[in-house]
Amino acid sequence: MKPTDFSYYLTGFLTKFLPGEIGASKNTIASYRDTFILFLRFLKDEKGISVEHLTLNKITKNLVVDYLDWTEDKRQCSPSTRNVRLAALHSFFKYLQYENPDNLLEWQQVLSISVKKTEKKTINYLTLDGIKLLLEMPDLNTEAGRRNLALLTLMYDTGARVQEVIDLTPSMIRFDKPYTIKLIGKGNKARIVPLMEPTMRIVKKYMEEQNLLRNSANLYPLFFNKRKERLTRAGVNYIVEKYKKLAREKNKVLIPEVLSCHCLRHSKAMHLLQAGVNLVYIRDILGHCSVQVTEIYAKTDSKQKREAIEKAYVDVSPTDEPMWEKNEDLLTWLKTFNK
């Protein structure tokens, strides 16, 4: 059977446009691919349209809205997930505007579908004491414990995303002063982050133990499992969850019941903010595209807000007891007031 125009353009979008023209990361491409896998499943199961017979002229704004509603109603996905799926579809139809402008009006109608408003979650982060407790949990008498300490310390100290840590290789760490680490973030954008000496010592000791300081190991995964394979997201999440449980046995006040890998990143950002570090520098360390994204930490830090208000506070409240409080008959006082 001859390929349809939909399969032709979708293939070009995923294999050429995303990685080649806009430099999308593997994770972004995988997320977009999953969106279209679900879209094709929806069309087959709900609309009776098989992928072999799917052409671009069959895709309308109403059809896309039905798919988005299906993700929420049938698959029980959150509005945030719905918005992720919509972002992938928007990207595809923006691509079609230039590659196949014959149905430009229909593409623009799909692009007019707006994202759903979602409830903004509060940022979950650990105090400095919470971080210290968490980092005390790995058993340094074991090889895995020493690796996990290096992993968690590096994640916190650099404010790195999970994937950024997973993708690290020995060549990305500089042990000459000033100590730095190179992180590859969203959109394959690289950034250089300062590395503090205590963290450097922990990581270097781990690398020495694993023979990762030799030149031939430069492109090896920095963190790997027993099979010498690069750690996965699930693997890193397992490590964080393991030590969270141990830390909560010591102190449930310092360690929240829900603790994700991203919480370490949030914690670093909050601690930098509380130490007086400028938002611009925090933005660069975290790899945010805009300082406006970083401002969420300033809005979250109630402690810093209180300190700022207290510093600027001028007492304007009256110190003397109001005259009417001395008068037992308030009505009499009011009648004679200001006469």
Q: What is the DSSP letter of 215?
A: G
SS3 content of the chain, % helix, strand, coil (to 5): 65, 5, 35
Q: Is residue 173 pLDDT above 80, yes or no?
A: yes
**How is residue 326 written in tokens?**
């001395």
Convert the pLDDT of each residue in 205-259 to its tens digit. 999 999 999 999 999 999 999 898 999 999 999 999 999 999 999 999 999 998 8
Convert the pLDDT of each residue in 274-301 to its tens digit. 888 777 778 888 887 665 656 666 666 5
Distance CA 76, CA 78 (A): 7
Distance CA 172, CA 183 (A): 8
Torsion of CA 47, 50, 55, 59, to 10 degrees: 20
Of how many residues is the chain composed?
339
Do 188 and 23 meet the contact criterion of CB atoms below 8 Å apart?
yes
What value does the mean pLDDT of the chain take?
A: 85
Q: Give the start-to-end residue ranges of the domains of the chain.
A: 5-111, 128-308
Beta-carbon count within 10 A of 139 CB: 12
pTM of the model: 0.68
Q: Which candidate, 86, 134, 133, 131, places its Cα nearest to that of 110?
A: 86
Residue 101, preceding bond cis, omega within 30 degrees? no
In words, the CATH class of domain 128-308 is mainly alpha
DSSP 52-107: GG--GGG--HHHHHHHHHHHHHTS---HHHHHHHHHHHHHHHHHHHHH-GGGHHHH
